[in-house]
Chain A
Amino acid sequence: MGWIGETVDSIKSLQIRQVLTQAVSLGMIVTSALIIWKALMCITGSESPVVVVLSGSMEPGFKRGDILFLHMSKDPIRAGEIVVFNVDGREIPIVHRVIKVHERQDTGEVDVLTKGDNNYGDDRLLYAHGQLWLQRHHIMGRAVGFLPYVGWVTIIMTEKPIIKYILIGALGLLVITSKD
């Protein structure tokens, strides 16, 4: 119980100068996180440099809760690459592998067909009604790196928001009560 008592005491003994320093340090934490995210966006050229795998359609390669690092370069898209794409009318981007590529002679535009490694058929059923191919503008990036399990943090937080609020509250309290 000593810890809670100390916490209450430290809140009582707050002074305006101290409050200001803590506000600044909290701001520093938030802005540096933002800077890192935006810098990653610039470096990778992808609007979301990190994605969490949400479905099991790429198992056993990628499981639910794994993290993928994306890169969007000018390089043409080739068969075998794992791309993240958006389909019109669907909010959540999909991570699947390219199995067919047709690249135009004159314009360089590509027609791409994708499939999940763990799915039986290709992705035409997932595309918008009547859509046979993905074009370049559907594709947000290609996966270059992989980190297992870390994405569970975000999955748990989106599915159980109460845990997110508890965590934010606890961190906030820690920042307010810390003395240095």
Chain B
Amino acid sequence: MHSFGYRANALITLGVTVLALMCAMASLSDNLNSPTPSAQVQVLNVNWFQKQRNGNEEVSLTLNISADLQSMFTWNTKQVFVFLAAEYETPKNSLNQVSLWDGIIPSKEHAKFLIHTTNKYRFIDQGSNLQGKEFNLTLHWHVMPKTGKMFADKIVMTGYRLPEEYR
């Protein structure tokens, strides 16, 4: 009854069960946190705006992104992935989401930031619908936990408009 095999088995089973329970509790404890993030984005400049040879329009923007995501960090947070997407509707597409900038926030100390940047990914439309187009800038974030369930949410900022003319 009390052979080496039995004892090892009992020990490993107990260890794995306790670990699994701790992981589950850590993940569940994330639900207790209700974050209150804030974000502002300014479009400082439209650097250029033109039509590619294949007919798709492309625009280059300079952006000021400031956000405070400190309240998102709990003890089970490994990192927060944050990105800014331009979102708009065209006659062909009911939704276009184009990521313009993203970043990884490794810790709470870095969660309050102000960034001055041009768009990191190319802002290209499927077609040519961007002239005078109204669009939303949405700051999305994905909370990656040390273990367990991942969370995501966003702040939508409305009222941005692209110029009527190419430049």
Hey, which bits of chain A sit against chain B, CB under 8 A? Answer: 3, 6, 60-62, 76, 78-82, 97, 99-105, 108, 111, 117, 122, 143-148, 174
Contact = CB atoms under 8 A, between A and B. Distances in A.
Contacts of B106: 60
B102 A99 contact: yes
Contacts of B152: 80-81
A149 B56 CA distance: 44
Contacts, number: 85
Contact of B4 (A3, A79, A80, A111): A3
A19 to B, nearest CB: 20
A61 B150 CA distance: 11
B93 interface: yes
Given A3-B3, A117-B104, A148-B146, A105 B93 contact: yes
Name the prevailing secondary structure of the B interface residues.
strand
A43 B152 CA distance: 22
- Give the contact-size bracket for chain B: 35 or more
Contact of B140 (A61, A79, A104, A108): A79
Given A101-B97, A102-B93, A104-B94, A147 B83 contact: no
Given A97-B81, A101-B95, A146-B149, 20 more contacts: A6-B3, A60-B79, A60-B104, A61-B78, A79-B97, A80-B99, A80-B140, A81-B152, A99-B102, A100-B97, A100-B98, A102-B97, A105-B90, A105-B91, A117-B104, A144-B150, A145-B27, A145-B148, A145-B150, A146-B150
